[in-house]
Amino acid sequence: MSSHISTKAAIAGITIEPCIFNAAGPLCVTKEELEAIGSSHSGAIMTKSCTFEPRPGNPEPRYYEDALGSINSMGLPNLGYMKYAEFSSEMKKYRKPYIVSVAGLSLQDNIEIVKYLGQFKDIDAIELNLSCPNVIGKPQVAYDFDASDEMLREVLKVNKHVLGVKLSPYFDFAHFQQMAGVLKKHKLAFVSCVNSLGEGLFIDADAEQVAIKPKGGFGGIGGDYIKPTALANVRKFYELLDRKVPIVGVGGIKSGRDAFEFILAGATAVQIGTEFMRSGTACFARVDAELKALMKEKGYSTLDDFRGKLKVL
């Protein structure tokens, strides 16, 4: 083994070094927040999931955390897709990939947004968020396999960038297989697993009330609570997509050991959400240092030495 330990990863020719970066959601709405990520040890700059129109989001309090994780019902507060396209040229100075998360509220919105983003050469990739509601009364797109198929087919027709998808968590082998069947029909650069686990509920027993205001207290769960679910999704899609499509692991990563587990399960790179919200940009350097220390201890010099090599009993 060489003395140099690398946590460099590559997705569709895009270098992400380290393989650790921010998940779309926390602290990535404004230009200032994106610049803070750019200045940090994060391997890439991921934007907030953007919509067609700017959105203030849901009424506050809309985020709450305890020792084991978080609940949120943010309501996609963002500056609108044109702003994130506009920021792309200024983000180049950080010399790391700039990825725009897209969460149009309809198929047509997503087509228009992705088409528009195609004009901006300084955008390195798009993460299409399939885990947002599309039509009132309908499930998230990722839970509607026909809608997911149509979304990918139509969006990829106009796409000019490296494009991947962010999926909702799945809990059943049949659903893993159905979604993998959809994904295999389309040329995707990566798959991110998982978005927050909904709909959860945090209750304050002392106050006898819910922790957040929107939707009667219901929201997406993140942090330690969802790590086993996220690991299962990463592993299953890694296997079902024939170990050919890069998987980005997200859900409950707060240490180098967590990141190691995700890569062992098959992840090419990992994103940090709740822990980034909790401890700020310092988390990227810390998790990378911890990952490198664990790799050194185990005699690994690159991520390829152990990626996907999870043993079963």
Delineate the domains of the chain, giving CATH numbers in brackets.
9-58+75-196+223-305 (3.20.20.70)
**How many Å is the Cα radius of gyration of the chain?**
18
**Which residues partner with 220 through β-bridges?**
72
What local confidence, expressed as pLDDT, does residue 136 receive? 55
Q: What pLDDT, on a 0 to 100 scale, did the predictor assign at position 137?
A: 64
Q: Write down the residue that tokens 């230009």 correspond to.
A: 31
Which parts of the chain sit beneath pLDDT 50? 1-2
Query: Does residue 19 have an active-site annotation?
Result: no
As a three-state string, the secondary structure of 142-163 is: HHCHHHHHHHHHHHHHHCCCEE
Distance between CA atoms of residues 80 and 58, nearest Å: 15
Model confidence over 217-253: pLDDT tens digits?
A: 999 999 999 999 999 999 999 999 999 999 999 999 9
Closest to 249 measured CA to CA, from 222, 230, 226, 273: 230
Question: b/e string for 217-240 if b means 16 or more Cβ within 10 A?
Answer: bebbbbbbbbbebbbbbbbbbbbb
Residues in the chain: 313
Beta-strand relationship, 20-22 and 218-223: unpaired
| Residues 281, 40 contacting (CB under 8 angstroms) | yes
Annotated catalytic residue within 19, 28, 132, 193: 132
Classify 307 in phi/psi space as left (phi over 0), alpha (psi -120 to 50) or beta: beta
Q: How far is CA 77 from CA 26, 73, 150, 160, in A?
A: 10, 10, 26, 26
